[in-house]
Structure 1
Amino acid sequence: MNALTGHESRLFEPLLALLPVDGLSISTFGHILAAETISASDAQSFRLDELQFDLGEGPCWDALETAKPVLEPDIRERPNHVWPAFSEAIIAENFGALFAFPLMLGPLRIGAIDLYTNQPYRLGEQDIQHVEILATVVSRMVLNRALRLSESDLVGEADTATRRAFSRREIHQATGMVLAQLGIPAADAFLVIQGHAFAAGRSMLDISSEIIDRRLSFAVNEQQIEGSHD
């Protein structure tokens, strides 16, 4: 049961082939992208996303808020006061262990990967490392997809010829500054600017100008780009 057909709906396959889990889903939610299941290996995975979206709590929300994996090797032993509504809802579901990994690109919090096993299970350190590495790749692909589907003008070019002449250069300069701030590849730095522009409903040129003028920084401990989930 996948939310999409085509290439994006098969994003779960490399992870499922690599990991000792029974199912997984890839979803977007939070402050940048709408709540949506991009890819799910089975109906149970889709249901896991659905419950968390509807209730506004659960492992995926905590993973995105803390920017760290949430590992629950025996979900039925989880105290109900942590996720009261979610804990109640999954009693009737066939979940033994749940794991959630954040989807992030630089400071942009995009969504999460949710994995489950039918019986209690503890992921090994190597499995955790594999998911974290693949999560970076998936984050890039998911954000690219969202921007590709968006009808917003994110290229940062204004109507005048003069502004068009300078826009590409300013965006390139801002990309270099974000690259230095975050220590990420140039393509990812460009995506961070593009994603922030998308979230703010503004052009890339406007965002780039703020970066160049040092009114906006993505560096850690400077301006916070994403708020946490309430």
Structure 2
Amino acid sequence: MLYSGSEASDIYSAICVAATVLVPGCDRASVMLRRGDKHSTVAATDDVAQRIDEFERRLGQGPCVDAIADARPQIDTDLRGHSTWPELARAIVETTPVRGVMGFRLLIDERKAGALNLFSDTPGAFDAAAAGAASVLASFTSVTITAISRGDDVESLRNGLASNREIGQAIGLLMAMENISSDEAFDVLRRTSQEVNLKIADLARALVSSHASGKTE
């Protein structure tokens, strides 16, 4: 799905659709990128997701905006209660069916570039499993937008899919097992690969394989 399009806009749209398929409880999604001092939505599943992004930009608060600045995922499972973003929560609840939100930072060559934004119409739907799946998708998305920014063609993205999938899975596993951010998980992979003189993709493959067999240490 991610690499079936021929244009960057097609790939961004596919990422949003993938979120609704792969992340439990996700009904809508958007990708917001920072360009200079401004944030812009480059893809969204529908007008509701687009509108919430607009709320965030206007209010200067929310999971998407905060995710760009902070490595840790930004999550509010029920906007009807006490929210970290009270003005945004009020606007969302009053004008949309969305009740839960998540934001995950996206990187281009380790630079803060944007956020993957996920929305649920069901209060409490965004649990640990949903956050884990979203973190893997966010890792894929960071790889994708980095390749696009470098001018890589879609065929290059397809060729790198296998190793990227394993790295994303390994990052998700480390985040869950060690309760760390995606940046910290990738740094663990990077440092360990240097220490054992093994490519990151090969190390990720070994980690995912050992976890599947119940031997992860």
Whole-Å separation in 2 of the counterparts to 1:146 and 1:35: 16
Question: SS of the counterpart of 1:76?
Answer: coil
Distance 1:68 1:29 in 2: 17
After TM superposition, the structure 1 = structure 2 runs for residues 78-89 of structure 1, keeping only pairs within 5 Å, are 78-79=82-83, 82-89=84-91
> Residues 58 and 86 of structure 1 are in contact (CA less than 8 Å); yes or no, is this contact kept in structure 2?
yes
Please give the root-mean-square deviation of Cα atoms over the aligned residues, in Å: 3.2
The whole-number CA distance in structure 1 between the counterparts of 2:41 and 2:18 is 17
Distance 2:33 2:189 in 1: 22
Q: Which has the higher helix share?
A: 2
Equivalent residue runs for 1:140-179 within 5 Å: 140-148=143-151
Aligned equivalents of 1:148, 1:78: Cα separation in 2: 43
Secondary structure at 1:95 match in 2: coil
Identity %: 23
Q: Which residue of 1 aligns with 2:78?
A: 74
Q: How many residues align?
A: 151
**Equivalent AA in structure 2 for residue 76 of structure 1:** R
Render the CA deviation track for 1:114-164: whole Å, top value 9, x for unaligned. Answer: 111112124232322221122111012123334439xxxxxxxxxxxxxxx
In structure 1, C-alpha distance between the alignment counterparts of 2:29 and 2:144, rounded to whole Å: 17
Query: TM-score of the superposition, structure 1-length normalised?
Result: 0.55
The correspondence for 1:100, drawn from 92, 98, 103, is: 103
Query: 1:197 maps to which residue?
Result: none
Q: Which amino acid aligns with 1:183?
A: R
| Alignment-derived partner of residue 122 in structure 2 | 119
Give the direction of change, closer, same or farther, for the CA distance of 1:88–1:15 in structure 2 (3 Å limit).
closer
What's the TM-score once normalised by structure 2's chain length?
A: 0.58
Aligned to 1:183: 190
Unmatched 5+ stretches in structure 1: 150-179, 186-230
**Residue segments in structure 2 that go unaligned for 5+ positions in a row:** 1-7, 153-186, 194-217
1:122-133 map, 5 Å: 122-133=125-136
1:58 aligns with 2:65: no
Letter in 2 for 1:93: T
Given the superposition, is the C-alpha separation of residues 41 and 138 from structure 1 closer, same or farther in structure 2, using an over 3 Å criterion?
Answer: same
Q: Distance in 2 between matches of 1:8 and 1:131?
A: 15
Aligned partners of 1:94 and 1:122: how far apart in 2? 13
**25, 28, 35: which is aligned to 1:23?**
28
Native 8 Å contact 2:30 2:116 kept in 1 = yes
